[in-house]
Chain A
Amino acid sequence: MTNSSRRMSAYISKQHLGLLPALVAMLAALLALPAFAQEAPDALVKRVSEEAIAIIKSDPKVQAGDQARIRELIETKLAPHFDIDRMTALAAGRAYRTATPEQKKELGEQFKTLLIRTYSSALNQYRDQTIEAKPLRADPNATDVTVRTEVIRPGQPPVQIDYSMTKTPSGWKAYDVIVGGVSLVTNYRDEFTQQVQAGGIDGLIRSLQAKNGAGAAK
Chain B
Amino acid sequence: MDKLTMRRMLVVFAAAALLAGCTATPSREASSADDPFEPMNRVSYRVHEVVDGQIIRPFAQAYVDYTPRLVQQGIRNFFGNIDDLFSFVNAVLQNKPEKAGHDLGRFITNTGFGLLGIIDIASDAGVPKGEEDFGQTFGVWGIPQGPYLFIPVFGPTTVRDGTGWVVRAYTSPIGYISDVPLRNVLIGIGAVDLRASALQAESLVNQAAIDRYTFIRRAYLQRRRYLVYDGQPPPLKEDDE
Chain A residues packing against B (C-beta within 8 Å): 90, 93-94, 114, 117-118, 121-122, 125, 154-158, 160, 180-183, 186-187, 189-191, 193-195, 197, 207-208, 211, 215
Contacts and interface: CB of A to CB of B under 8 A. Distances in A.
A interface: dominant SS: helix
B31 A190 contact: yes
A64 B109 CA distance: 39
A194 B218 CA distance: 12
A215 B231 contact: no
A155 B210 contact: no
B226 interface: yes
Interface residues of B, number: 36
Given A182-B222, A186-B222, A191-B211, 18 more contacts: A122-B204, A155-B76, A155-B80, A155-B123, A155-B129, A180-B226, A181-B231, A182-B218, A182-B226, A187-B218, A190-B31, A190-B214, A190-B215, A190-B218, A193-B31, A194-B31, A194-B211, A215-B207
Interface of B: 31-32, 73, 76-77, 80, 120, 123, 128-131, 200, 203-204, 207-211, 214-215, 217-219, 222-223, 225-227, 231, 233, 236, 239-241
Nearest to A204: B210
Given A155-B123, A156-B129, A121 B218 contact: no
Contact of B131 (A157, A190, A193): A157
A187 B215 contact: yes
Contacts of A181: 222-223, 225-227, 231, 233
Contacts of B76: 155
Contacts of A154: 123
A118 B129 contact: no
A189 B217 CA distance: 12
Contacts of A195: 210-211
Contacts of A90: 240-241
B209 A190 contact: no
Contacts of A94: 239-240
B128 A157 contact: yes
Nearest to B236: A186
6 A-B pairs with least C-beta separation:
A181-B226, A93-B240, A118-B208, A190-B218, A182-B222, A121-B207
A157 B130 contact: yes
